[in-house]
Amino acid sequence: MKYSKILIIDGYNDEPGGLGVPPYIDIYPRYIAGAIWSVDKSIKIRYVAVDEFRYKQWIGKANNYDVAIFIAGVVVPGKYIGGKPVTGEELKLWAKMLGRPFKVLVGPAARWGMGIEGGRKAYSRATFKKAGFDVLVTGDPEIYFHDLIKYGENYASPYGIRNDYSNVNSFVKIGSRIIRQHPNYGRNLIVEIETYRGCSRWVSGGCSYCVEPLKGKPIERDIKGIVEEVLSLYKHGARAFRLGRQADFLVYGSEGLGVEEWPKPNPDRIEKLLYGIRAHAINLKVLHIDNVNPGTIARYPKEAREALKKIVRYHTPGDVAAFGIESLDPKVIKINNLKVGLEDALRAVEIVNEVGRKIGYNGMPELLPGINFMLGLPGETKETNAYNINFLKELLHRKLLVRRINIRKLLVIENTRVSGMKHKIGKKERMASKKFINFVRKEFEPKMLSMVVPRGTIIKDLWVEECKLGFCYARQVGSYPLIVLIRGEFPRLSYISAIKVKRVHSSRSVEGIPIE
């Protein structure tokens, strides 16, 4: 069949290594559009974000398309102010209502289903199949859509996995213009960039709950491929980028990646990559990173410090190195093969502080760690939370800054090691977890926020993302930006050049007053 009109409905994804909730656009729409146009550039592709699809009665219009591609799957659920991800119910309903188009589901929802918590799956893959999706792509979507357009439905495999980035590198240059259809385009749009896939710790099985080791030996993009993608996006108007799709940015370019469990950072390659981006996207506004393994910093302090300095030299301020610490209970660390114990975690936070805590031109520290905790891991007892609280108290005591604390509950994903382990969490552990969350939200975070952005701090370049009940929420563009609450009404997605911090408003936000 000849396809001439294709609709991409972006239901948003949030994965450990990749974010697609506005203002972010992740790799899926860009890789898919590039793969389709690489075969037939006359095909009309319409990209629509799920918020518009939901509220503007898109169902009728969607029936005029030949193919409807749904991107979906929030693996690490958070609270979002930039958009509301598609729900399992909506996916089921829309798959039933759409009669004409060939319906394809991609992203984590197609791979693992949706709403997985404590081993219970609310929407399995079979549910989506039954609701009317013709294909669920569990492999790499760009491979499927390339073959669908070139060879037809019967010859395209939804299971194909890329072995290298050669096709991606050419597809992205063709597909980058799809960003022009994003609702945040021209305002606070930020593009998620992939540098490699997999995790070096796959050799030891990696962390028990993580899907990255299942991808096998890491494969890496070359500097040229990444820089050319950024240039192409830049030419199409992108001004904010996050190098967010990788397990540990510090080991990008390391000779040991794919060979050793703990590769040594290669600051020169990191510098070449960042320099290449800055040299081609001359007037970019934001260049941030995401995941960094604190274990890498603790094992290679000298090389990691050098690499962090290169990041601070070429990035933009307000950057966050997200540390997946998960737990500081030695028993939990051992059972789940986590990355760092207490001393190494403190050392890693200290080193990022040394290099990155000075204030940048937009009012935020250059680069701070963000800390991720995970509750419900095998081995957890009511004592676990005491270890985690001690660590946080030690940070306050040493006046070490962290940008934010993320507390997630264990999500058991098929085929991860944790899915075969005993992990029953009892009442006592649940109570202790609540105590921990209370400590973080009520005691730790307000104190930390007042150290990171003390009263009177001027924060620049914010975008209003949501308004209700006489207040608006504004944020800078970037990795885990701080929420600033502003009294009054502002049009959504309007720009505020600067605010002065009045007070810490909640554990995660400050109140600010706009200034000229």
Q: Which residues bind ligand SF4 (CB under 6 A)?
A: 199, 201, 206-207, 210, 212-213, 247, 293, 324, 339
Bridge partners, residue 510, by sequence: 484, 504
Residue with the shortest CB distance to ligand SF4: 206
Structure tokens at 214: 């299942």
What is the smallest separation between the CB atom of 207 and ligand SF4, expressed in angstroms? Answer: 3
First to last CA, the chain: 58
What is the smallest separation between the CB atom of 213 and ligand SF4, expressed in angstroms? Answer: 5
Toward ligand SF4, which CB reaches closer, 3 or 209? 209
Contact 218, 167 (CB under 8 A): no
In the DSSP assignment, the letter for residue 262 is: S
Toward ligand SF4, which CB reaches closer, 178 or 349? 349
SS3 (DSSP) at 252: coil
A 10 A CB-CB count for 454 gives: 11
A 10 A CB-CB count for 326 gives: 25
d(CA 142, CA 160): 9
Toward ligand SF4, which CB reaches closer, 87 or 336? 336
Toward ligand SF4, which CB reaches closer, 146 or 245? 245
What is the smallest separation between the CB atom of 335 and ligand SF4, expressed in angstroms? Answer: 14
Toward ligand SF4, which CB reaches closer, 146 or 201? 201
Toward ligand SF4, which CB reaches closer, 206 or 512? 206
Toward ligand SF4, which CB reaches closer, 141 or 206? 206
Toward ligand SF4, which CB reaches closer, 210 or 412? 210
Sign of the CA dihedral with 454 first, then 455, 460, and 462 last? positive
In the DSSP assignment, the letter for residue 493 is: T
Residue 285 burial (C-beta neighbours within 10 Å; 0-12, 13-18, 19+): middle
Contact 483, 508 (CB under 8 A): yes
d(CA 250, CA 308): 8
Contact 356, 297 (CB under 8 A): no
What DSSP letter does each residue of 35-83 carry, written as one string?
A: HHHHH-TT-EEEEEEHHHHHHTT-HHHHTT-SEEEEEEEESS----SS-
**C-alpha distances out from residue 208 to 38, 232, 412, 414, 421, Å:** 39, 38, 10, 12, 9
Toward ligand SF4, which CB reaches closer, 418 or 452? 418
Q: Mention every residue, 6+ apart, whose C-beta is less than 8 A from residue 146.
A: 35, 36, 38, 39, 167, 171
Which of 278-285's residues contact partners 24+ apart within 8 Å by CB, and which partners?
A: 278/314, 280/227, 280/230, 280/231, 280/234, 281/230, 281/231, 281/233, 281/234, 281/238, 281/239, 281/241, 283/239, 284/234, 284/239, 284/240, 284/241, 284/316, 285/239, 285/240, 285/316, 285/461, 285/477
d(CA 226, CA 27): 12
Residue 262 backbone phi and psi in degrees, to 5: -125, 80
Please choose, from the candidates 451, 449, 493, the residue with its C-alpha nearest in 3D space to the C-alpha of residue 472: 493
Sign of the CA dihedral with 198 first, then 201, 203, and 204 last? negative
Toward ligand SF4, which CB reaches closer, 199 or 440? 199
What is the smallest separation between the CB atom of 339 and ligand SF4, expressed in angstroms? Answer: 5
Bridge partners, residue 68, by sequence: 7, 103
d(CA 233, CA 241): 9
